[in-house]
Amino acid sequence: MKKSVKTIVGLLCSLMLICSCKPQKKETKLSEADILHQNQDLLTEVIIYDVFSPPVASRIYTYSSLASYEAIRFAKEGSASIAEKLHGFGKMPQPEAGKKYNYTLAATKAFFTVVRNVKVFSVDSLKTYEESVYNYFKENSDDSTYQRSVAFGESVAQSILARAKTDGYIDSRGKPKYLGSTDPGKWRPTPPDYLDGVEWCWNTMKPMLMDSAAQFTPPGPPTFSKDTTSQFYKNAKEVYTINTTLTEEQKTIARYWDDNPFVIEHSGHLMFGKKKITPGGHWMGIAAIAAKQTNADPVKIAKGYALTAIALYDAFIACWDEKYRSSVVRPVTVINEWMDKTFSPFLQTPPFPEYPSGHSSITAAASTVLASMYGENFSFQDTSDLRYIGMQRHFNSFQEAAAEASISRVYGGIHYRNSVDDGAAQGKKVGALIVDRILKK
């Protein structure tokens, strides 16, 4: 992470030096869009470094991105508040009429104030970057505008944080471990590390836009059965057959969308962790690509980040609500017991129940929102994961990317097909709710 932070800070410092040469100032001034994207890039680096679970990462993205938007929206006349349409937020702060503001500075201040207060651990890694950004603004603003903008950003952040303190997160940290059940068909910790269930009470979190965690409850998994003619057995058999005959393309797709924030590698008696981007972070990256490709203005950039994050956050709540209600056993457990005791899925099985697929739900939600903002047939080169795993892929639409992310979980051997299908249907409903209540209005 430190190398990436140094790269961003170095770019800022270089531009500051160039900007000090008056003849070049207009041509080399750091754009508002660059600053917004760099802010998000650094947050993703911190989330990877601190190894937050995917649901928790979505919470961090949501509050920080929402704060950024609520501060910068005044740069574009008629831009309505998003927070005021969500559950639990009061009236958002307003700038003083007739006063001059730098709204990108205000957005940056709001963004990082929230990031620092939603339990990000590596706050020291933010310090150098923040100081370089604020110094840049100081050199390009009069003192009164600078101070006024910082104060406004702080007020927005405090309004956002007031809601964060009551969303259920603090209470969720004190819950006992979830170790599953030995009852037939129920989830229990999976090899190779047999970890307890992650974020088992995430459905107690206050949704942003959904009426409740159970608003979009999926139809439910097939009845557990060892009968070889049952749908459950057929689903498990399909996962086994696919995983034992994977093509190179299927392996590539599985690896590309793995987005497991902490994969534990085993080499003899040695164990070591490999940190990667979260699935939500991958889609925040796709939101950035769409904004850059269309030369979106700063307000639209911030709006895209905020709505993508909200889609991820509510989809995680909806998905996790069903995961721990049905608590379905993972394919690796079933296959090891019924078909092949030596079987190991292509991807490492995440430590939580199987149904429905989280990847499928959150990617469908995010892609629905992004398609509404940037178009149904938006073609793009996805480089979101390039710096982390050295891979990139091309997609003809956000929906195509989401569909590939969904089926990748079957290729990876960690989900049954019905779970990815039902997860995708659930996520589309979450995304459609956001489109209907925020984007269309």
The yes-or-no verdict on residue 28 having pLDDT over 70 is: no
Higher-scoring residue by pLDDT: 29, 390: 390
Over residues 164-184, the mean pLDDT reads: 93
CA distance 143 to 146: 5
Specify the amino acid at residue 10.
G
What confidence score (pLDDT) does residue 261 get? 64
Closest Cα partner for 315 from 353, 356, 346?
A: 356
Q: What does DSSP say about strands 270-275 and 380-382: parallel, antiparallel, or unpaired? A: unpaired
Q: Is the peptide bond before 356 cis (omega within 30 degrees of 0)?
A: yes
Q: Look at residue 96 in the predicted model and tell me its pLDDT.
A: 95
How far is residue 7 from each of residues 42, 329, 393, measured CA to CA in Å? Answer: 10, 44, 24
The per-residue pLDDT for 125 is: 74
Express as a percent the part of the chain with pLDDT over 90: 81
pLDDT of residue 274: 55
CA distances to 14, 169, 179, 329 from 182, rounded to whole Å, are 59, 29, 10, 10
pLDDT at 314 over 70: yes
Mean pLDDT of all residues in 35-40: 96
Q: Are 105 and 146 in contact (CB under 8 A)?
A: yes
Q: 228 burial class (0-12, 13-18, 19+ CB within 10 angstroms)? A: exposed
Q: Would you call 266 helix, strand, or coil by DSSP?
A: strand
Phi, psi of 268 (to 5 degrees): 65, -125
Residue 327 Ramachandran class (φ > 0 left, ψ -120 to 50 alpha, else beta): left
- Are 409 and 359 in contact by the 8 Å Cβ rule? The answer is yes
pLDDT score of 51: 83
- Is 76's pLDDT higher than 90? yes
Cis omega (within 30 of 0) for bond into 221: no
**22 is written with which tokens?**
């008056």
Residues linked to residue 205 through DSSP beta bridges, in sequence order: none
* Residue whose entry in the numeric block shows the structure tokens 């957005």: 107
CA distance 182 to 223: 16
Residue 259, pLDDT score: 87
Assign 441 a pLDDT band (cuts: 50, 70, 90). Answer: low
Give the model confidence (pLDDT) of 333-381 as tens digits.
999 999 999 999 999 999 999 999 999 999 999 999 999 999 999 999 9
Of 302 and 25, the structure prediction assigns the larger pLDDT to: 302
CA–CA dist 18, 64 (Å, integer): 30
What's the pLDDT at 19?
40
223-238 residue pLDDT tens: 999 999 999 999 999 9
pLDDT for res 15? 42
Confidence of residue 108 (pLDDT cuts 50, 70, 90): very high
Model confidence band, residue 126 (pLDDT cutoffs 50, 70, 90): confident
Taking the C-alpha atoms of residue 393 and residue 342, their distance in angstroms, rounded to an integer, is 32
Higher per-residue confidence, 276 vs 202 = 202
pLDDT band (50, 70, 90) for residue 245? very high
Instruction: Over range 401-415, report the average pLDDT.
Output: 98
- Is the pLDDT score of 426 beyond 90? yes
DSSP alpha helices (H): ranges in 219-293? 231-243, 248-256, 279-293
Three-state SS sequence of 356-381:
CCHHHHHHHHHHHHHHHHHCCCCCEE
* pLDDT given at position 119: 72
Mean pLDDT of the chain: 91
What is the pLDDT, as a whole number, of residue 407?
A: 98
pLDDT at 12 over 70: no
- Indicate the residue type of 134: Y
Q: How confident is the model at residue 218 (pLDDT cuts 50, 70, 90)?
A: very high
Q: How confident is the model at residue 264 (pLDDT cuts 50, 70, 90)?
A: low
pLDDT (0 to 100) of residue 235: 98
pLDDT at 391: 95
Task: Give the distance from CA 64 to its chain's centroid.
Answer: 12
Q: How far apart, in Å, are the Cα atoms of 129 and each of 18, 25, 125, 134?
A: 18, 22, 8, 9
| Phi and psi torsions of 97, nearest 5° | -65, 135
Q: Report, as an integer, the average pLDDT of 392-410.
A: 98
Query: Per mean pLDDT, which range of 5-14, 133-142, 220-229 is the poorest?
Result: 5-14
Which residue ranges does the chain devote to CATH 1.10.606.20? 2-167, 180-204+207-439
Measured at the CA of 5, the angle between CA 379 and CA 130, to 5 degrees, comes to 105
**Which class is 2-167 in CATH?**
mainly alpha
**pLDDT tops 80 at residue 168:** yes
Instruction: Please name the fold of domain 180-204+207-439.
Output: Vanadium-containing Chloroperoxidase; domain 2 (1.10.606)
For 183-216, how does the pLDDT look when each residue is reduced to its tens digit (9 = 90+)? Answer: 999 999 999 989 999 999 999 999 999 999 999 9
**Distances, alpha carbon 103 to alpha carbons 1, 98, 184, in Å:** 28, 14, 57
Give the helix ranges, DSSP H, for 375-411. 386-389, 398-411
* Nearest of 121, 115, 156, 160 to residue 133 by alpha carbon: 115
Give the model's confidence band at 23: pLDDT under 50 very low, under 70 low, under 90 confident, else very high: very low
pLDDT of residue 156: 98
- What is the reported pLDDT for 16? 42
